Chain A
Amino acid sequence: MTPSASTSATPTLIRNVRVLGGEPQDLLLRDGVIASVGTAPDEADRAGDITIVDGTGLVALPGLVDLHTHLREPGREDAETVETGTLAAARGGFTAVHAMANTDPVADTAGVVEQVWRLGREAGHADVRPVGAVTVGLQGERLAELGAMADSAAGVRVFSDDGVCVSDAVLMRRALEYVKAFDGVIAQHAQEPRLTEGATMNEGELSGRLGLRGWPSVAEEAIVARDVLLAAHVGSRVHICHLSTRGSVEIVRLAKQRGLPVTAEVTPHHLLLTDELVATYDPRYKVNPPLRSADDVAALREALADGTIDIVATDHAPHPLEAKDCEWDVAAFGMLGLETALSVVQHTMVDTGLLDWAGVAERMSAAPARIGRCDTGELPHGRPLAEGEPANVVLIDPSASATVDPAASASLSRNMPYEGMKLPGAVVATFLRGRPTHVTGGLL
């Protein structure tokens, strides 16, 4: 989709919307860009072919960018497709998602990443930025053709073996060095494999009591520590996926104080849920890294607020029903996240006073776009809501609340840990370059 192809939408004037949660303003979206911010002249109402939206009570944020989405296509189209996953993304307020590489076949060649990128263009619900595998087949043995993926039409800048850790220190060092040539970043799933063999939940008092193999915090922290030091040593960027422990937060904080080139993400579920939920042996709560303690949750919220953790990333991980409707041991790891992310962030960060909406915009749009290097170029994301910028906008109603119902999800999967929980906030509309990709409640 070229920029011009997406700009055929009717101009939209959003009246009295709180841009980044500030004072009410009018936001005019025309020809795919933000034509004006401020008080729109009354003539705009009468300018013929224009859609007027009453934005009273709504907050406008730049379209959200997810650095960590599993779309499952190719290979597991029964769990999710690019079409359904990006539809879920649009419903969650996202205008761009980075699609993780652990598909089947693995996205470790230019061919696969271009296929995923094209499927995203055809679906048109959100821009899909494929993530390339770091190693061939996620096997952790030799580097994938990182340069070919970077040079492909997909223009890959984020590389990750997510699902597994690049645990070999030499391979990790080489990957960090190699991607400097095209300004790439390695996104590490930090999990020391030997310390987590057979592990299915947070290691602690509860895992001992439940007789489940524990995944200790140190297995994450050891890799985080190693990788920030490696990145510093070779002078390259490293991004740590789904931070889950207080110890990891402390390492990243220290690294940033020393000026090391590290960024980090936290998932919505790690900001809200604790390992106590595992006492039900309900596989909805089985996720990697596992749900941690209330103390870890507090540390993660604090770190997201003070900027130690740069971004929220969903780790949206769809699984078919049978992979979760079973006993704990054989259940798949992972949870859906795209549609509920903003609500969980509002609940845990905004309504608690830890973050304002501008802070949310930074952590869920601007920073992930910067880290993924999609803040510039042909179809930029994470840009400010300012005149001349792409009209990637999400409108949210912070005063709404709803009980989470997985059956209503746009995803092909239903593995939602918030089922039955009442969460605040609703995404009422999402615009991708001025074109609505999601609208609720007769808003348009």
Chain B
Amino acid sequence: MIRHLLSAGDLSREDATLVLDTAEEMARLTEGRAVKKLPALRGRTVVNLFFEDSTRTRTSFELAAKRLSADVVNFSAKGSSLSKGESLKDTALTLEAMGADGVVVRHSASGAPYRLATSGWINASVLNAGDGTHEHPTQALLDAFTMRRHLGELSGKRIVIVGDVLHSRVARSNVLLLATLGATVTLVAPPTLLPMGVEQWPCEVTFDLDAALSGADAVMMLRVQSERMKDAFFPSAREYSRRYGLDARRQALMPPEALVLHPGPMNRGMEITAEVADSDRSVIVEQVTNGVYVRMAALYLMLAGTAGTTTPEEAA
């Protein structure tokens, strides 16, 4: 297994499958049990280093680490940017002095986890929990895990990702991971919300959502920030919803078994209607549950030392 998890693109097919299989194991070992704790990371210290607010993601990682019996430190450094005197480097040196084994980092700057892992400031394993508009690899893993549970192996499956690809770390990580797993990904977005060079990504691109839906095994809606409107990425919320929102009419264009995903938090009525979000094809709530299993798997494989040779149960 890799030492740091910085990009979904760093995972080979074998690595990715190992994480998903291990997550399955984590689910089996904890689902429905009164005592959910495994001793796999006893004595290890995991730091949640969050330079950007995200209660959902932080809680998910915290729960994952605690279920593996790791010591968890939450280091919320929001607002302490370089200009205010506390740099990423200083924080890293502090964590190093505290003996952190793993650092889960969320940062508004793309590449910050990469710098943390490669600058020699720290020896701990670094896990990217979302960096700027770059990547969010565990989100992609939990999406893949969720889809795999419903659809079986993802090779050959058709996944449609809709919305603000330009600013979405979720989309970047999903395209990379799903391509590695052999799925066919189609991005749908207004041209203003597609990054330069997207035609070189391992996916298809279209502006026509209706056409993309008919063959989809899963449709992943991305969050659209309302401030994109005043930056002229699209003319109005209403026009966006009409052209790129998922409503009941569009859902009817999808094959009956196709799934609906959303990384949350949702703008109900903007990119997705409440009706669709709460429908029986929606796996949005499951995604949250699965996030814990996938993060347990990632932390376990990165920090348990001889990962891959011992099952979590044996380690217990």
Contacts and interface: CB of A to CB of B under 8 A. Distances in A.
Query: Is this pair of chains taken from one and the same complex?
Result: yes
B162 interface: no
A327 B111 contact: yes
B109 interface: yes
B265 interface: no
Given A325-B89, A328-B110, A330-B83, A211 B115 contact: no
A207 B169 CA distance: 13
Contact of A207 (B112, B118, B195): B195
A329 B109 contact: yes
Interface residues of A, number: 21
B195 A328 contact: no
Contact of A205 (B110, B115, B132, B197): B197
Nearest to B121: A325
Interface in B190-223: 195-198, 200-201
B17 interface: no
Contacts of A329: 108-112, 132
Contact of B115 (A204, A210, A281): A281
B271 interface: no
A212 interface: yes
A364 to B, nearest CB: 34
B196 A205 contact: yes
Interface string A190-210: 000000000000011111111
A214 interface: yes
B133 interface: yes
A38 to B, nearest CB: 56
B172 A205 contact: no
Interface in B63-102: 81-83, 87-89
Contacts of A206: 197
A167 B110 CA distance: 29
Nearest to B9: A209
Nearest to B116: A327
A280 to B, nearest CB: 7
B145 to A, nearest CB: 23
Contacts of B110: 210-212, 281, 328-329
B119 interface: yes
A183 to B, nearest CB: 42
A205 B195 CA distance: 8
Given A211-B133, A322-B87, A325-B119, A281 B81 contact: no
Contacts of A354: none
Contacts of A169: none
A327 B196 contact: no
Nearest to B112: A327
Nearest to A211: B134
Contacts of B201: 208-209
B131 interface: yes
A205 B119 CA distance: 25
Contact of B172 (A204, A209, A216): A209
Interface in A212-245: 212, 214, 216
Nearest to B119: A325
A212 B88 CA distance: 18
Nearest to B6: A281
B218 to A, nearest CB: 23
Contacts of A379: none
A325 B87 CA distance: 9
A211 B169 contact: yes
A215 to B, nearest CB: 11
Nearest to A200: B110
B111 to A, nearest CB: 3
Interface in A245-297: 280-281
A351 to B, nearest CB: 32
A1 interface: no
B158 interface: no
A208 B88 contact: no
A211 B135 contact: yes
A208 B112 contact: no
A212 B114 CA distance: 13
Contacts of B169: 211
Contact of B197 (A208, A281, A322, A330): A208
A207 B109 contact: no
B196 A326 contact: no
Interface string A331-370: 0000000000000000000000000000000000000000
B223 to A, nearest CB: 16
Contact of A328 (B81, B115, B133, B135): B115
A208 B165 CA distance: 10
Interface in B142-199: 166, 169, 172, 195-198
Which of B89, B107, B112, B115 has the largest number of chain A CB atoms within 10 A? B115
Given A208-B197, A325-B119, 5 more contacts: A205-B200, A208-B195, A212-B111, A327-B88, A329-B110
Interface of B: 81-83, 87-89, 107-112, 114-115, 118-119, 131-135, 166, 169, 172, 195-198, 200-201
Interface of A: 203-212, 214, 216, 280-281, 322, 325-330
26 contacts: A203-B196, A204-B197, A205-B200, A208-B166, A208-B197, A209-B195, A209-B201, A210-B111, A211-B169, A212-B110, A212-B134, A214-B196, A281-B115, A322-B82, A326-B115, A327-B82, A327-B107, A327-B112, A328-B109, A328-B110, A328-B111, A328-B112, A329-B132, A330-B82, A330-B83, A330-B87
Closest 4 CB pairs of A and B: A205-B197, A208-B195, A211-B134, A281-B111
